[in-house]
Each structure stands twice: as C-alpha cells, then as structure tokens.
C-alpha cells in the first residue's frame, strides 16, 4: 500500500467515526487528495427526511470545492462492510465532475483492504462537460 493510500485510509477511518447515521446505522468515511497534496475527508450525515442525507464522498468533495479546489487526484471510501464499498451512483457522478477519467478510486472493506479502480471504470458514460 503506497503512502497516499495510507493517508487517505487514515483520514477516511477518522471521518467514519463521526458519521451521523441514526437511521441506517451504516457509517461511511471518505477521503480525497487534491493535486497539491491536500486531503479532504467526509462522513455520511443522515436526516429523517432521507432525501436530505449526504454521502461521505460528496461531503468530502463539497469541502474541497468550498476551499476553492476543483480536481481530485485520488479518492477512497470505506464502510463497515465485508465487501469492498463502492460509491453510490450519485457520488459517482459528482466524483466524475471533479476528476479525470483515469483518477484512482479506492474502495475499502471494514478491514482496510483496498480494491483500486478508476473513475472511468465506476462510471464509464458519465455526464460531464469534459467529453
């Protein structure tokens, strides 16, 4: 495991501890790195009105955007699952908005095992202006 993945995994695990998931009890953490090496993390935050819930990946991406950054160089997601946890469809689309097709996407299980993919692999026909 390379150093960037270790840093992202650590940040995502810490973020997952802050997840607000009183309805699903499904805690998720995400962390991304920008091209300048900054790391932004996020957790899922649920709401009694389920449509207002925000996923960990979008939480991290929106923090990044709020800081003026626009390009993800790599992103990682982890949950309390035996299987590798992929981003949901909405998160895949938002990841595509702020990434290149070859941007690494790391999906982890609860043990911290990592499966690497790319944005193009997880959403091959994304709707973006960068066709």
Catalytic residue numbers, as ranges: 57
Calculate the dihedral angle through the C-alpha atoms of 24, 41, 52, 115, rounding to the nearest 10 degrees: -60
From CA 95, how far away is CA 56, in angstroms rounded? 12
Return the structure tokens found at 84: 């590798």
């Amino acid at each position: 495991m390379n150093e960037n993945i270790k840093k992202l995994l650590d940040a995502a695990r810490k973020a997952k501890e802050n997840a607000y998931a009183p309805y699903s009890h499904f805690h998720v953490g995400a962390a991304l790195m920008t091209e300048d090496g900054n790391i932004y993390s996020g957790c899922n935050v649920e709401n009694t009105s389920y449509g207002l819930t925000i996923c960990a990946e979008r939480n991290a991406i929106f923090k990044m955007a709020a800081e003026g950054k626009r390009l993800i160089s790599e992103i990682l997601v982890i949950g309390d699952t035996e299987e590798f946890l992929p981003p949901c469809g909405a998160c895949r689309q938002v990841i595509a908005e702020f990434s290149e097709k070859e941007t690494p996407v790391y999906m982890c299980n609860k043990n911290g095992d990592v499966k690497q993919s790319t944005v193009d692999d997880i959403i091959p026909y994304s709707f973006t202006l960068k066709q």
